[in-house]
Amino acid sequence: MLVHTAFGRAEQVARHWSAAGCPIVIHADKNVPKKTYTGFVKALSDLPNVRFSRRHRCEWGTWGLVAATQSASAVMLSDFKDVRHVYLASGSCLPLRPVQELVDYLAERPHTDFIESATTADVPWTIGGLDQERFMLRFPFSWRKNRFLFDKYVALQRKLGYRRRIPNGIVPHMGSQWWCLTRQTLSAILEDPDRSVYDQYFRKVWIPDESYFQTLSRLYSRQIESRSLTLSKFDYQGKPHIFYDDHLQLLRRSDCFVARKIWPFADKLYDAFLTDAAGAMKRTEPNPGKIDRIFAKAVERRVRGRPGLYMQSRFPVEGRENGLTCAQYSMFEGFSDLFENFGPWLARVTGTRVHGHLFAPERAEFSDGQRVMNGALSDNATLRDYNPHAFLASLIWNTRGERQCFQFGPRDTVKEIEWNIAKDPNAQISVISGAWAVPLFKSNLNFSEIRQEAARLQQIESKHLDVLRSPWAKARIRIWTMAEFIEAPMEPLQTIIDEIGKQSQHGLAEVPKMADLTGFGQFLQNLKNQGMHPYLMGDFPVEHRLHEPERGQRKPYLVR
């Protein structure tokens, strides 16, 4: 048992092992003050089967930890002749199952060494690089205390192309430092005639406690189970995950024999696992699957985060958002101008939430006339325009699980938000260009005002279309001119609806009602005659044509 802190807990666990008849050799870090150490030794002096081994200075990533393990192993093998398996544990390890179960488990597998041991070539699992190189370079400087020299010396060796020779052609293996080896294997490693050669080599290897025994056991073991009996998880920075009181159920269900690292003040865990030894004898294999998944998820959350979320501890720089919003949504431009009942129709056909013009200058037109949306998002235009991107991201985030659709057009506050939407791969943008002219056509304004407004809207939409057509636009964008669209309106509608992907299989049973466009061609011609050429709607003939329905009898759309 390697101990360097929390001696009270180490004593508690040592007593637990000892009471179950397992002899223990304890190594305490030489950095521990003498007073603490002697107190610790004294506290355990009543146990007959506890020994203390020669102390080494243990710093993370250095040889000291291996030296400590070697000394302690030697004591164990010489002082306790009937020990068959040696289990390397730490002071913050906690046995989760009755010790007898572990004893039985090992007795059934008398020749098996449990040591995680993989070649670096096959498993690139190390954190922060240095997987092959830790065996090829020299590491005389401390990573903790002399990071600068450590890094510089690595860089220098790389530059010079320095390579160490690996003695006797051994194949470097790596794995968890917490192993359980048989007497045969362990003594073979310690008594190897070439041990001084190996020791000399591993002294300058980076983090040798993860490779010394892992490599050498490959030379002697009869049967290696390449896994650790100790449940020990590391996060993406190589820091061990810590178990707290609230992990009690999780640890119980894991069926692992030993877990580390336990928070020293996790009273509930120590009470639970060190007292109820009488628990039913289970013959199950350790099953850390659930814990693995939970910790993998935590790392995922730390590294990738929840897409589309902006908060006090997640605020990605541009380009690292991993999704500007959290879910897909649809933006329709011109549809509500061309069709009289587009919103209600879309809601019925797709079952999605359909808003009006979210970016209207007066207020955000939420669905059903709501003044406040999910998450207490206000419809106030000033509030919205203070940070339109946050407004949209919040709306999509707050309504997770329900697709949002909204209308958009050149009358809205376009400039502040158009790039955010165009660059968002979650956006599905469908545009009928020039349809903004329909409300003008229907309006009761003076023609000079109409002309002025038409010129303004056309300019805005034209710039907006440039944005949508730019190479940086990442949304799924479809643009039709109005003339193009009314030529065959069902096909584009069907495509858009299919993409939203929620309607019935049989195509569109119901179609939205198109505005009456009788005289629209003439209206456009009048604008032209005034010197304002409306071009975004495509070519509209002045005289009546087929797509302009005869008065009184509308041409039915084809339903696919």
Contact residues toward other proteins (CB under 8 A) are 235-237, 239, 241-242, 244-246, 263, 265, 294-295, 297-299, 301-306, 309-317, 320-322, 372-378, 380, 382-383, 386-387, 390-391, 394, 397-398
Which of 129/375 has CB closer to other proteins?
375
User: In the bound complex, what is the minimum distance in angstroms from residue 315's beta carbon to other proteins?
Assistant: 5
Q: Give the CA angle between residues 440, 442, 445 to the nearest 5°.
A: 60
CB 481 within 8 A of CB 469: no
Which of 151/539 has CB closer to other proteins?
151
Token pair for residue 350? Answer: 């797709």
User: In the bound complex, what is the minimum distance in angstroms from residue 352's beta carbon to other proteins?
Assistant: 19
The region, left, alpha or beta by phi > 0 then psi within -120 to 50, assigned to residue 468 is alpha
Which of 335/366 has CB closer to other proteins?
366
Which of 125/236 has CB closer to other proteins?
236
User: In the bound complex, what is the minimum distance in angstroms from residue 251's beta carbon to other proteins?
Assistant: 13
Distances in Å between the Cα of 391 and the Cα atoms of 61, 249, 387 are: 48, 41, 6
User: In the bound complex, what is the minimum distance in angstroms from residue 297's beta carbon to other proteins?
Assistant: 8
User: In the bound complex, what is the minimum distance in angstroms from residue 424's beta carbon to other proteins?
Assistant: 15
Count of CB atoms situated within 10 Å of the CB of 453: 18
Distances in Å between the Cα of 173 and the Cα atoms of 123, 194, 211 are: 10, 18, 6
Q: Give the CA angle between residues 122, 124, 130 to the nearest 5°.
A: 120
What is the amino acid identity at position 550? E
User: In the bound complex, what is the minimum distance in angstroms from residue 122's beta carbon to other proteins?
Assistant: 26
User: In the bound complex, what is the minimum distance in angstroms from residue 411's beta carbon to other proteins?
Assistant: 21
Which of 390/455 has CB closer to other proteins?
390
Residue whose pair of structure tokens reads 């669209």 in the numeric block: 485
Which of 304/456 has CB closer to other proteins?
304
User: In the bound complex, what is the minimum distance in angstroms from residue 12's beta carbon to other proteins?
Assistant: 19
Distances in Å between the Cα of 53 and the Cα atoms of 2, 12, 57, 84, 138 are: 10, 19, 13, 19, 28
Which of 150/345 has CB closer to other proteins?
150
Helix, strand, coil fractions of the chain, as percent rounded to 5? 40, 15, 45
User: In the bound complex, what is the minimum distance in angstroms from residue 42's beta carbon to other proteins?
Assistant: 25
User: In the bound complex, what is the minimum distance in angstroms from residue 437's beta carbon to other proteins?
Assistant: 33
The region, left, alpha or beta by phi > 0 then psi within -120 to 50, assigned to residue 319 is left
Which of 338/364 has CB closer to other proteins?
364
Backbone angles phi, psi at 3, to 5 degrees: -125, 140
User: In the bound complex, what is the minimum distance in angstroms from residue 403's beta carbon to other proteins?
Assistant: 17
Q: What's the maximum distance between 2 C-alpha atoms anywhere in the chain?
A: 109
Contacts 24+ apart (CB under 8 A), 121-130: 123/174, 126/174, 127/234, 127/236, 127/237, 127/238, 128/237, 128/238, 130/154, 130/206
| CA gap 437, 515 in Å, rounded | 12
* Cα Rg of the chain (Å, integer): 36
Which of 143/179 has CB closer to other proteins?
143
User: In the bound complex, what is the minimum distance in angstroms from residue 324's beta carbon to other proteins?
Assistant: 11
Token pair for residue 286? Answer: 């350790």
Which of 150/397 has CB closer to other proteins?
397
CB 537 within 8 A of CB 435: yes
| CA gap 304, 321 in Å, rounded | 9
Which of 286/388 has CB closer to other proteins?
388
Which of 106/291 has CB closer to other proteins?
291
| CA gap 270, 264 in Å, rounded | 9
